[in-house]
Chain A
Amino acid sequence: GENVEQHPSTLSVQEGDSAVIKCTYSDSASNYFPWYKQELGKRPQLIIDIRSNVGEKKDQRIAVTLNKTAKHFSLHITETQPEDSAVYFCAARGSGGYNKLIFGAGTRLAVHP
């Protein structure tokens, strides 16, 4: 079935460093790839997304890249800050139904001052 794998499961960086989270997906028909941030005890919130007709998208310190041939996409956070500490989830819209998202297992990012 449809699957999204996410790595690493935990990531620890120093404030100001960059952080990269990678995801691979199995359904070659997937065409929408959002990233959600979830702070402790809070709801997931969309931080950036990319569609299959675009290879890269950037929003201030956050960027996402997509390689459709290899079926993987990545989240890049530059100049990390303590408030970036959270769990990040990637997702891919599956082809099996309307706007159904398949989520990765999540990456717990810790940014140390």
Chain B
Amino acid sequence: NAGVTQTPKFQVLKTGQSMTLQCAQDMNHNSMYWYRQDPGMGLRLIYYSASEGTTDKGEVPNGYNVSRLNKREFSLRLESAAPSQTSVYFCASSESGNNEQFFGPGTRLTVL
């Protein structure tokens, strides 16, 4: 039982490049989330998916897109990376009606 996994662990991009961050969970959770963590700003919700087939914007969705591929997988895409998107990205999941969110190990992204 791996919980929530994320790939890659580290990534360096040049401005304008695109990439997709992958997230998968094996806990049969309905809901999944993408956060970014910046120094002094806590965790900010980018997008979330309440259940398979649905996605909604969070606090800071600009510059990102998401895909809920199936119940297990939720990916985050940066179409044209900008230095302001340098951050640590965490994926999380939770059961419907149960509020505890379980986090993945994070992806450290640097955009030059």
A48 to chain B minimum Cβ distance, whole angstroms, is: 11
CB neighbours of A97 from chain B (8 A): 48, 50, 56
For B105, the closest partner residue in chain A by CB is: A43
A106 touches B42 (CB 8 A): yes
B42 touches A9 (CB 8 A): no
Interface size on A, residues (CB 8 A): 24
A103 touches B99 (CB 8 A): no
Tell me, in angstroms, the Cα distance from A97 to B58 when the chains sit together. Answer: 9
- Give a binary string over A1-32; 1 marks a CB under 8 Å from any B CB, 0 the rest: 00010100100000000000000000000001
Of the residues A45, A98, A102, contact of B31 by C-beta under 8 Å: A98
Decide if B94 is an interface residue (CB 8 Å cutoff): yes
B103 touches A89 (CB 8 A): no
Decide if A69 is an interface residue (CB 8 Å cutoff): no
Interface of chain B, main secondary structure: loop
Tell me, in angstroms, the Cα distance from A91 to B103 when the chains sit together. Answer: 14
B84 to chain A minimum Cβ distance, whole angstroms, is: 18
A35 to chain B minimum Cβ distance, whole angstroms, is: 11
A41 to chain B minimum Cβ distance, whole angstroms, is: 9
B31 touches A89 (CB 8 A): no
Decide if B101 is an interface residue (CB 8 Å cutoff): yes
**Given the known A-B contacts A34-B99, A49-B100, are A103 and B106 also in contact in the complex, defined by CB atoms under 8 Å?**
no
Tell me, in angstroms, the Cα distance from A104 to B41 when the chains sit together. Answer: 7
Tell me, in angstroms, the Cα distance from A105 to B37 when the chains sit together. Answer: 10
Of the residues B42, B50, B56, B99, contact of A89 by C-beta under 8 Å: B42
Of B99, B105, B106, chain A has the most CB atoms within 10 Å of the CB of: B99
Which 8 A-B residue pairings sit nearest by Cβ, starting from the closest?
A: A103-B42, A43-B103, A98-B50, A103-B43, A105-B42, A32-B99, A44-B103, A106-B42
Taking Cβ atoms with an 8 Å cutoff, the residues of B that contact A are 31, 40-45, 48, 50, 56, 58-59, 90, 94, 99-106
